[in-house]
Structure 1
């Protein structure tokens, strides 16, 4: 039986249909904050330490104080799973700069505000053991120049994703107009396979170095003895690839089989992408099996 969408707001767990946001929360009025999304498989968080490390990076870059210990954040994630009953889903945790003025100037002594939600996410079915491919379009990357920060300002991601959906595609592959070079997807990192090599944009300020991307570099690519070229390339070059795929917390590894109506390779999930996805799936299963348990969150533990 499916669980219930659930939330954690300012120290209280509550069903989402009973939650309310403060109108002077700077995340609400200015997008002033950072977020991280963690995948839940079989009632367990996957790669939560890496997600918390990424969250702390974004907060430091935004000069937002970090007022929760990792143990507290871990307990919040696990309590959301327990209280919601959701076994497979996504936990979205965000920390805003806090309650205060709608002015661009940061008010003095503002205290960061944490909120989190868990929602059901059904994994896509595989047909005959083959990963289902997704369709994509190319779209101009109109985001700010600090895409390495998981900021709450997301209009630059929303608009190209909406353009993709209008064109019956699931993702937009972004490129900078001034350089004609691909960066990443609206909510994913983008890779192509050409002549046996993996190509992807380097992890700099132009992209979000996602947790799934990082795990491929640290564990999967070395295991499969794959050579990776971290170099930006143009949309025309991507269309000459034999394979393409995106990585994200929600999708894991997803083959891109068509871009702007053009088939990538033979239009199906290629053998290298299939091997990467299989190895990643095994890695996920092993980590979940080895994962230790943690205690419940206690609101009166205090801040650090």
Structure 2
């Protein structure tokens, strides 16, 4: 019988979805995953000399699913770049990725059920969605949503000698060293208790005749970037809520510091917010703000930086 803790995920970048990568495999540490292959069976409407239906036929299939992880420094940078649609650029002690680009990155992903020697192989997988969640208490989590162009079950491994997984340093809510709103720290001014960032690339599948079960093209449409902020209610919080009356932009900067001193800095240069005036009884009042990212110019696109101490 199979056990979830014996299943190992590995991935490799893939240029040609019809060719299994022979090298470049890396183990992908995860909390959970929902990678799957779903098949659409279309019923036949042919009437025969019976009240029973004749056999249906498979008409399409989807290779897709989510991978949920805990934030680990550099462990998921390949996937973050794929979600962003750009490559990381490197400067002195800093590397940066810009969200909303046009670079298409595809992956082969394999799940190895080691205890029963069963393998699942997905090809041409793209990162359609990405989310970052910082709770009030606990590990900082990330989720990558995949969709792609093929699947096969096998009794032999495709991921040969994958590179060992990076499992530290990790980050928790205590790793958040600062959250700035419009360039001003919220520490001692406004109390942020939770934060989230979500990206949806809105990839659409193009089904061309003759392309087979999984279609022939996957096209990134206009990207949606949204998120939320939970703040203790204060005058500063109300000043943010007032901005929804005019649609004035808000700049958000979140810094996550690892035990070794290195930091990730997520900068959202322009966002419009919405939210309600909090109500309640004998409790600490909090305001739930949602935001929508926009970019009037390429320089407005959100960035994620890894800064080395």
> Which TM-score tier does this pair reach, normalised by the shorter chain?
under 0.3
TM-score (norm: length of structure 2)? 0.21
Structure with the largest fraction of strand: 2
TM-score (norm: length of structure 1)? 0.22
Structure with the largest fraction of helix: 1
